[in-house]
Amino acid sequence: MRLDRAVAARGLARSRTHAHELITAGLVLVSGEPVTKPSADVADDADISLADGAAAHYVSRAALKLVGALDACEPLGLVVSGRDCLDAGASTGGFTQVLLERGARHVLAVDVGHDQLAPVVVADPRVTSREGVNVKDLTTSSEGAGVSLVVADLSFISLTHVIDPLVAFAADDADLLLMVKPQFEVGRARLGSGGVVRDARDRADAVARVVAHMRAAGLGIHSIERSTVPGPAGNVEFFVWGSGSWQARGAGAPPVLDDDQIAHRIDVAVGGAR
């Protein structure tokens, strides 16, 4: 039997699509060893399990990316609990689920698509879904404006085109935790086979470009983290955490990185190829 069929049949995933995501992320173990090929043949009585962190209740693998980013940033001072949040590019709602689990008061889930948000997410009274909305069109007068935390998982668009609208939509002192996907930042000429950014220098340039736009929009940068879960086809992705009105924050506020610290954090996140 194919591994993805076996994982779904045993209830370790909600569907074959979900099973495929878990497998390609290296989160499915056969006899204790990760197998990353969904079509791999396994015996009917094979020992199949999920790796730690592969919580099957999440509606998408993307949720695990935000879990990793928050685990890195919350000890540095990023707070989710009690906040009104924007999930930009919500898709099926994996990021929204994680925010709710971390105590968010309300999540506005925005996506340009329709009928993507999973029923279990839509049914939560703390969630407001806005479908068919391009985040580039968000303004200070848009419904739900003034959120204090923004998370973003956007595809087929550079973050440099949406940072200003996101900053305008959020409260002046909001935190923004944005996922950088180099494959949508570097341009087609620097994509390898399968749409993968393989050169670490290109990955570093993608992160640096997003960081520069965030700073130009008035955000202080607090952290730059490598995603603990790879993107499609193995693309390495990153999270950048910044906040507004950082100059006015008092003692105990998360420290803001200077130029040298930013360069170092990019080095560390990318792997020293800068």
159-187 pLDDT, tens digit per residue, is 999 999 999 999 999 999 999 999 888 87
Across the chain, where does the E strand assignment appear? 28-30, 33-34, 48-50, 84-88, 106-111, 127-131, 149-152, 175-180, 220-226, 238-243
Which residue type, as a one-letter code, is found at position 272? G
Mean of the per-residue pLDDT values of the chain: 89
233 touches 194 (CB < 8 A): yes
pLDDT of residue 221: 98
Q: What are 212's two structure tokens? A: 């520069």
Q: Range with the lowest mean pLDDT among 58-67, 69-78, 82-91, 264-273?
A: 264-273
Q: What's the pLDDT at 54?
A: 61
Q: Is pLDDT of 272 > 60? A: no
| pLDDT for residue 20 is more than 60 | yes
Helices vs. strands in the chain: H and E counts, helices first = 8, 10
Would you state the pLDDT for residue 86? Answer: 98
How far apart CA 267 and CA 200 sit, in angstroms, is 10
For residue 101, what pLDDT band results from cuts at 50, 70 and 90? very high
Maximum separation of any 2 CA atoms in the chain, in Å: 61
* Mean pLDDT, rounded, for 108-123: 94
Tell me, what's the pLDDT at 28?
87
- Does 52 have pLDDT greater than 70? no
Residue 48 has pLDDT above 80, yes or no: yes
Q: Would you place residue 273 in the very low, low, confident or very high pLDDT band (cuts 50, 70, 90)?
A: very low
Q: Which pairing describes strands 149-152 and 106-111: parallel, antiparallel, or unpaired?
A: unpaired
At residue 270, the pLDDT reads 93
Average the pLDDT over each of 78-82, 117-121, 184-188 and give the range with the smallest value. 184-188
pLDDT above 90 as % of the chain? 65
Sign of CA dihedral 195, 161, 231, 243: positive
Query: Which residue type does 101 have?
Result: E
More confident residue, 219 or 50: 219
Q: Which pLDDT does position 59 carry in this prediction? A: 86
Q: Mean pLDDT, to the nearest integer, of 185-212?
A: 84
pLDDT number for residue 274: 38
Please provide the size of the chain in residues.
274
Prediction pTM value: 0.80
Give the residues across from 106 on adjacent strands.
84
Whether residue 45 is predicted with pLDDT greater than 90 in this model: the reply is no
Cβ neighbour number for residue 192 with a 10 Å cutoff:
13
Of the candidates 133, 209, 135, 122, the residue with the CA atom closest to the CA atom of residue 170: 135
Helix (H) or strand (E) holding 209: helix 200-216
**Max avg pLDDT among 48-57, 151-160, 189-198, 249-258:** 151-160
Per the listing, tokens 């006899």 go with: 31
Of the listed ranges 153-167, 185-199, 252-266, the one predicted with least confidence: 185-199
Report whether pLDDT(87) > 70: yes
**Domains of the chain by start residue, with CATH:** 3-50 (3.10.290.10), 62-270 (3.40.50.150)
Phi, psi of 30 (to 5 degrees): -115, 115
Tokens of 257: 């990185």
Asked if pLDDT for residue 127 goes beyond 60, the answer is yes
